Chains A and B, each alone.
Chain A
Amino acid sequence: EDQVTQSPEALRLQEGESSSLNCSYTVSGLRGLFWYRQDPGKGPEFLFTLYSAGEEKEKERLKATLTKKESFLHITAPKPEDSATYLCAVQESDFNKFYFGSGTKLNVKP
């Protein structure tokens, strides 16, 4: 059973067109939820950590939020350089183990 599910699989936006990516999870005892950005052929780049429901983090055009069952990555007025695959990962309590979702591939057209 998948513990982390991301949607949509792919998202095409026009530059400036805001949208949200979803990450839903089923792990019990969430230790943390993490968002990463990955460019082709590169390692994932850390963006945010969220630890508890109601928490929000922001960085430039990105804002991550967390509820008890899901997280959203909101992208405001995206630019072409925001094009990448966005990965969500969760960590269960007391385990040094990160479960990754399958990612959302974002393409922002100029």
Chain B
Amino acid sequence: DTEVTQTPKHLVMGMTNKKSLKCEQHMGHRAMYWYKQKAKKPPELMFVYSYEKLSINESVPSRFSPECPNSSLLNLHLHALQPEDSALYLCASSHPTGFGLNTEAFFGQGTRLTVV
């Protein structure tokens, strides 16, 4: 099973709302990622968790707050977003480097976020 499950599939939120995106995997991967993808652009890395600890933050604004409650779950908390934050948010997981081979990342289907 190489499935990464993201919920919700679609989300519309106002600029004063607080919402969360959820991601789950059961492949035993200990590296999990959040990416943001705008139309006709490649995925852009936001955060990396390795062994449930935040290891990379690509200078993402604080209105995005990641959380990794356990080795299978990854959340992205959203607050006071701007319309330009509208995008497809992708979660991915992989074995971490140093684990050996097979470090390819598997992606979820994404959450289509619209900020109004």
Q: Interface on A for B, CB 8 Å cutoff?
A: 31-32, 34, 36, 41-46, 49, 51, 87, 89, 91, 93-98, 100-103
Contact = CB atoms under 8 A, between A and B. Distances in A.
Interface residues of B, number: 32
A96 B43 contact: no
Contacts of B92: 43, 98
A36 B90 CA distance: 14
B98 interface: yes
A6 B95 CA distance: 26
B110 A42 contact: yes
Contacts of B112: 41
A96 B55 contact: yes
Contacts of B88: 41
A102 B37 CA distance: 11
Interface string B32-50: 0100000001111100101
Given A42-B109, A44-B107, A46-B2, A93 B97 contact: yes
B37 to A, nearest CB: 9
Interface string B84-103: 00001010101011100111
B81 interface: no
A100 B94 contact: no
20 contacts: A32-B103, A32-B104, A42-B109, A43-B107, A43-B109, A46-B105, A49-B101, A49-B103, A49-B104, A87-B42, A87-B43, A94-B97, A96-B31, A96-B50, A96-B55, A96-B94, A97-B48, A97-B56, A98-B45, A102-B42
A45 B107 contact: yes
B64 interface: no
